[in-house]
């Protein structure tokens, strides 16, 4: 039933064997920098590659500051702590997201509120967000209070799903109006632009991931970007176990976290970063190849929305219904072409099934129909 699609993907990748969903490409100075790092003996959280990466990613995105962190989930956790999210606070996010977003909220003892996404972006809907806040909250003493629970809604964490920017400028305006701290989950959208501005730089904090399956990788890694010097300094302090600087004394002034990115990982990441523009270009070329092909089929290829320039981290197709989706998933994976459904909605997981939700019609529609197809860079 899907033989033409399988054959096309195999032809595109020039591979009749197993085709992964997304694998990293090491085409530059990765081994050179790793060897240099090993020779220096600075393989932990102190070293020149950590500092170099922070400078480069800040300059690339246009953010004033960047803090390299051990992984994207830890970066989300620190971002929420910087937003002063505490036990019994609430955080708005989308149900269509990777589990890390909600895990980080839970680490703070807070509760998620799930608001619907836009079909056009698969990211948080500013219309749904505004409707929820207008109907269910009031601003008192510069805090957004949930009328139903009486709790403070401290932060909002939209995600740029699969690299596609959500309507983040509208979301920012709404968060500013309601005094809600905006954290962009840009884990998947490194290199993506919205209205010619990098994702991750609209909110007070942006969070990125450099996991092994991302567009560039440090094996495991993440970072925070911000224009706020105070937040940047506190992020660096918290992620280095809140150690008080001293020539020889070991002392700490807060509950801190061992979350800094090791220099060894940063060495790999600096080399990867040198080819980021090439990777984005090649991924956009692949997306156009897929788009042209699927335009001649009965299935819809998901494309970037207006005002967006997506990195197309994971390419997606949309099926008519769940039954056809599942048939496609079964057949492609049996033939060695790795495909995956979109995540189970967070509000359906046992940990979050009691969370407050808005109307989630779009998220539920997408959950039943979206499939990711092989998206590795082709050089």
Residues 161-211: tens digit of each pLDDT: 999 999 999 999 999 999 999 999 999 999 999 999 999 999 999 999 999
**How many Cβ atoms from other residues are within 10 Å of residue 252's Cβ?**
12
Residue 246, token pair as written in the block: 């001293």
- On whether the pTM is more than 0.75, the answer is yes
The whole-number average pLDDT for the span 221-241 is: 97
Domain spans of the chain, in order of start: 3-22+276-346+356-373, 30-275
Q: What is the mean pLDDT of the chain?
A: 97
Instruction: Give me the phi and psi of 225, to 5 degrees please.
Output: -120, 145
**pLDDT at residue 45, rounded to an integer:** 83
Q: What is the DSSP string of 207-253?
A: EEE--TTSSS--SS-EEEEES-HHHHHHHHHHHBTTBPP-SS---BS
Contact 58, 66 (CB under 8 A): yes
Domain over 3-22+276-346+356-373 is classified CATH 3.90.1150.10 = yes
* 282-306 tens-digit pLDDT: 999 999 999 999 999 999 999 999 9
Q: Which helix (H) or strand (E) holds 66?
A: strand 65-69
Q: How far is 173 from 156, CA to CA, in rounded Å?
A: 12
**pLDDT at residue 278, rounded to an integer:** 98
Confidence of residue 249 (pLDDT cuts 50, 70, 90): very high
| 74 three-state secondary structure | helix
* Cα 120 to Cα 165, 259, 280, distances in angstroms: 10, 35, 21
Question: What is the DSSP secondary structure assignment for residue 98, as one 8-state letter?
Answer: -
Question: What is the DSSP secondary structure assignment for residue 119, as one 8-state letter?
Answer: T
The whole-number average pLDDT for the span 352-360 is: 97
| 309 three-state secondary structure | strand
Q: How far is 70 from 260, CA to CA, in rounded Å?
A: 5
Percent residues over pLDDT 90 in the chain:
98
Confidence of residue 16 (pLDDT cuts 50, 70, 90): very high
Nearest Cα residue to 89 out of 171, 157, 135:
157
**How many Cβ atoms from other residues are within 10 Å of residue 246's Cβ?**
8
The whole-number average pLDDT for the span 112-126 is: 98
| 135 three-state secondary structure | helix
**How many Cβ atoms from other residues are within 10 Å of residue 324's Cβ?**
16
**pLDDT at residue 226, rounded to an integer:** 98
Q: How far is 278 from 41, CA to CA, in rounded Å?
A: 31
* Cα 58 to Cα 12, 221, 259, distances in angstroms: 35, 16, 19
Confidence of residue 217 (pLDDT cuts 50, 70, 90): very high
The whole-number average pLDDT for the span 359-369 is: 98
Nearest Cα residue to 267 out of 320, 316, 217:
217
Domain 30-275: give its CATH code.
3.40.640.10
Q: Where do we find the tokens 């019609």?
A: 361
């Amino acid at each position: 039933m899907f033989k033409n699609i399988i054959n096309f993907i195999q032809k595109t990748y020039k591979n009749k064997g197993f085709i992964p969903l997304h694998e990293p490409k090491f085409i530059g100075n990765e081994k050179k920098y790793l060897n240099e790092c090993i020779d220096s003996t600075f393989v932990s959280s102190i070293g020149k590659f950590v500092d170099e990466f922070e400078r480069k990613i800040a300059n690339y995105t246009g953010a004033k500051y960047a803090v390299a962190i051990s992984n994207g989930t830890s970066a989300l956790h620190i971002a929420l702590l910087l937003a002063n999210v505490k036990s019994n606070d609430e955080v708005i996010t989308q149900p269509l997201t990777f589990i890390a977003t909600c895990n980080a909220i839970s680490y703070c003892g807070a509760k998620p509120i799930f608001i619907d996404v836009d079909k056009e972006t698969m990211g948080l809907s500013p219309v749904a967000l505004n409707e929820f806040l207008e109907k269910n909250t009031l601003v008192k003493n510069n805090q957004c209070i949930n009328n139903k629970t009486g709790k403070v809604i401290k932060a909002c964490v939209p995600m740029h799903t699969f690299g596609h920017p959500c309507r983040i400028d509208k979301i920012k305006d709404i968060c500013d109006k309601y005094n809600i701290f905006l954290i962009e989950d840009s884990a998947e959208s490194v290199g993506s632009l919205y209205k010619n501005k990098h994702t991750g730089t609209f909110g007070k904090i942006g969070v990125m991931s450099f996991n092994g399956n991302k567009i560039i990788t440090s094996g495991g890694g993440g970072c925070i970007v911000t224009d706020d010097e105070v937040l940047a300094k506190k992020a660096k302090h918290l992620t280095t176990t809140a150690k008080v600087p001293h020539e020889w004394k070991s002392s700490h002034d807060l509950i801190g976290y061992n979350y800094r990115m090791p220099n060894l990982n940063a060495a790999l990441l600096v080399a990867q970063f040198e080819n980021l523009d090439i990777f984005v270009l090649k991924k956009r070329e692949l997306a156009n190849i897929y788009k042209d092909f699927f335009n001649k089929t009965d299935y819809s290829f998901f494309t970037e929305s207006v005002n967006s320039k997506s990195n197309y981290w994971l390419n997606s197709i949309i099926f008519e219904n769940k039954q056809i989706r599942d048939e496609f998933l079964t057949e492609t994976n049996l033939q060695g072409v790795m495909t995956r459904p979109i995540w189970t909605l967070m509000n359906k997981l046992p940990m979050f099934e009691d969370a407050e939700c808005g109307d989630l019609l779009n998220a539920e529609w997408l959950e039943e129909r979206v499939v990711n197809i092989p998206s590795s860079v082709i050089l």
